[in-house]
Structure 1
């Protein structure tokens, strides 16, 4: 897919079609329903058949134990979308729930716990500026990172048919008029510790966007007292990035009541393996589960 005349979104779409034909992409079929709590319309996806992904993960874990196996080194050619500068590559997420879900990976191995740097964010913005969607980073295993190799993700809208944006967005945007750009605050409506900030990136290059969001990112780490040694984060966290705002959530464990949570959970989109787990969410409620994997206020 090296045709520079194609824009990135066209390349993502074309690569997806080809990878589906070649069966390199293994989409995970889901059903979904909405669950309302505190005026947030949570999107709950229920896996139709997780066996394939779980089998693949077991094989992968075995390979990792045997030889530090890394699915990104080398990545599958059929999943390759484009180079992003000298240090990053854009590839399709092999086990995708939403079509055209992409990963921005470092070309060479870097740990997922490493702090994001300007090059990471510039590559990320190169993608997000061309994709209408949500960007996120699962910083470490407690934050739901399934691979130890540094990678950011962008998932395009809609997350479900006829569904605008994502569930948590309305709540966040309600605070837009009260806040200046770069102000970092915690939303009182959420029962777990988090920080949000708004930014205005209209008409800016991906490098300018990266510089602005890098500054907010470091302020958020300080605000939430997520310790780091200048290179690696000692605490795990989730980071959500949109064209208008950012949110960071410190993490204490990867799952609650058997339900695994990554950044998408804090965007209001949860994934459950079966009907049993769906009933657990209905019983405990989404915000309670998010509070259990984060830091309770």
Structure 2
């Protein structure tokens, strides 16, 4: 049976060869701030992605039609495999990090819908094969670029020369439990509203379905603790505020958001893990002067 990692490597080679995959070339730098070493990637050439991003919008505007859903149908050349009856795994067409995986619902669901047991089952299937960092951008203000529900996962380490963990993990050892029935904690080094919990989603912790229920319970508790309410939209639970979610086999973090950008720099979930992407040297300079931790504070909710 082909493993997920082998399938990703095979499909990556094929998609590169046939021109379906367009990695964004970057120069890798770092900025030390707030007890973390932030990885910062500076784009060398965004022209291809800009054309792909703008052309569908221009066409849609001229025809008064909504933008096309890139996942319905998805590009066959980017298809990695079936994760579950409800989700497929695709390569991220314009990836900044190698082997960037998208975990996408087979049928349309809005990105603002809360994650459910099926989402976590698919995610855990992926995490059990690859010890990576999974994340979810809950809404446009949290960095979501597509309205079709999709989780994302990148392998660890986030940089070739970095330790096998996200930079954020340098601060997690100081996490302090808060009062309540659930093991919710806050991280003193993070000066914005968040909710953190340790958990074990490893391959020896029962079936993926059982582990998904544990993860779902933790996720909903973290949303509550972080002040992200659930609201009913057409009989389905949706987020009442934008947020970012980070998940590994060992922990989960939720951060509520107020805006997508700071000084023109877009911030998604990876920023809170300790990884930024900037479009040019001028944005790198802006981020360095502001400080990555201050940038995270500016796009989130003050604690």
TM-score, normalised to structure 2, is 0.92
Distance 1:102 1:171, change over 3 A: same
> Would the aligned equivalents of 2:178 and 2:186 in 1 still touch at CA under 8 Å?
no
Kindly tell me the number of residue pairs found equivalent between the two proteins.
293
Q: Specify the alignment match of 1:217 in structure 2.
A: 219
Task: Provide the secondary structure at the position in 1 that maps to 2:9.
Answer: helix
Q: Specify the alignment match of 2:54 in structure 1.
A: 58
The alignment's C-alpha RMSD in Å is 1.9
Distance 1:52 1:208, change over 3 A: same
Q: Specify the alignment match of 2:43 in structure 1.
A: 47
Q: Specify the alignment match of 2:89 in structure 1.
A: 90
- Provide, for residues 175-207 of structure 1, a one-character-per-residue CA deviation record: whole Å limited to 9, x for no partner: 399999951122121111111000123412221
> Would the aligned equivalents of 1:181 and 1:199 in 2 still touch at CA under 8 Å?
no
Q: CA deviation at 1:82?
A: 0.9
Moved runs in structure 1, 4+ residues, more than 4 A? 63-66, 176-182
Q: How many Å separate the matches in 1 of 2:177 and 2:225?
A: 21
Task: Provide the secondary structure at the position in 2 that maps to 1:82.
Answer: strand
Distance 1:248 1:67, change over 3 A: same
Q: How many Å separate the matches in 1 of 2:277 and 2:294?
A: 15
Gaps of 5+ in 1: none
Distance 1:63 1:138, change over 3 A: farther
Q: CA deviation at 1:63?
A: 4.7
Task: Provide the secondary structure at the position in 2 that maps to 1:67.
Answer: coil
Q: How many Å separate the matches in 1 of 2:9 and 2:176?
A: 33
Q: Specify the alignment match of 1:67 in structure 2.
A: 65
Task: Provide the secondary structure at the position in 1 that maps to 2:189.
Answer: coil
Q: Is the aligned partner of 1:257 residue 2:263?
A: yes
